[in-house]
Amino acid sequence: MNKNVNLAVDIAGIKMQNPVATASGTFGFGNEYADYVDLSRLGALVVKGTTLHPRQGNPPPRIEETPCGILNAIGLQNPGIETVVNEILPHLQNKNVPVIVNISGDTPADYAKLAQKLNNSCAAGIEVNISCPNVKKGGLQFGSDPESAAEVAGAVKASTNLPVIIKLSPNVSSIVKVAEKVARAGADALSMINTLLGMKIDINTMRPSLGNNFGGLSGPAVKPVAVRSVWQVYREIDLPIIGIGGITTAEDALEFIMAGASVVAVGTGNFINPTATMDIIENLEKYLIDNDIADIKDLIGRAH
């Protein structure tokens, strides 16, 4: 690392040596990529979405390629919070990288219980997936209703001393309104965006291609939507932002940072290039050196 430039950032008290993280659901629990990536060089490791109890996920097919992206309907397959806290997180402690745990629940009480169970773990923060169906409101996503989103944010915040990062859904009429509500409810930071709801139909079988019919669209196709979302929220809400959506190169990362993100998370890009995070870190440093910029933080929100 060149001593003349600084890539270090701090988001909601989580100190990162650089602004490059992994996006939940695309990097497993970290060790799956250990043969390709030096985990200790990451800014942060955001692990796979975790629920109160183990989940098998949705029936296959669960992933379909689309132009410039993929549709996924994994269905939050995971071993459950007890296994994550007792078996997985302890193995990540020696990686010397902040670990952020993504949580998903069916009710605000579920989210609160998950947050409580992480209090005595090595987690550096909690990312709250509000793109989950609220079972008490007929399956409507928490993230699509500002009041429901705020209820979850408040429940998690009241249950933990860890930084609370709310991951916003793009499947809303106004992402700024949702951001406002969760900010008032106590959120410490925001992640944006989660996947866009999409669908693909097999014209030979005349059936949906995914076993769950619908899936989340991610990859380069969603990047313009994500950059726009970060731009809008950064100008209205005084919370740090983790930018997510179609980041595969340092140029992509810089767009998000200049739009207002303090940190970027690489998701589908990891499937295309397993060393994408390492390449982006190196090329961000090169950009600072080439443009005589001393600190990456000087670029946050720079676009105007």
Convert the pLDDT of each residue in 116-165 to its tens digit.
999 999 999 999 999 987 767 766 799 999 999 999 999 999 999 999 99
Percent of the chain with pLDDT over 70: 98
Tokens encoding 126: 């909690």
Architecture of domain 9-58+75-198+218-299 in this structure: Alpha-Beta Barrel (3.20)
Q: What is the mean pLDDT of residues 229-238?
A: 98
Q: What is the pLDDT of residue 181?
A: 98
Q: What is the Cα–Cα distance from 153 to 171, expressed in whole angstroms?
A: 18
Q: What is the pLDDT of residue 132?
A: 83
Q: What is the pLDDT of residue 1?
A: 46
Q: What is the mean pLDDT of residues 227-241?
A: 98
Is the per-residue pLDDT at 10 higher than 60?
yes
Q: What is the Cα–Cα distance from 51 to 104, expressed in whole angstroms?
A: 5
Buried b (16+ CB within 10 A) or exposed e, 254-264: bbbbbbbbbbb
Q: What is the pLDDT of residue 4?
A: 87
Q: What is the mean pLDDT of residues 157-183?
A: 97
Q: What is the pLDDT of residue 51?
A: 97
Q: What is the mean pLDDT of the chain?
A: 96
pTM: 0.96
Convert the pLDDT of each residue in 247-295 to its tens digit.
999 999 999 999 999 999 999 999 999 999 999 999 999 999 999 999 9
Please say whether the beta carbons of 42 and 286 come within 8 A: no
Cα 20 to its chain centre, rounded Å, is 11
Residues labelled as active-site residues:
132
Q: What is the mean pLDDT of residues 79-95?
A: 96
Q: What is the pLDDT of residue 14?
A: 98
Q: What is the pLDDT of residue 3?
A: 60
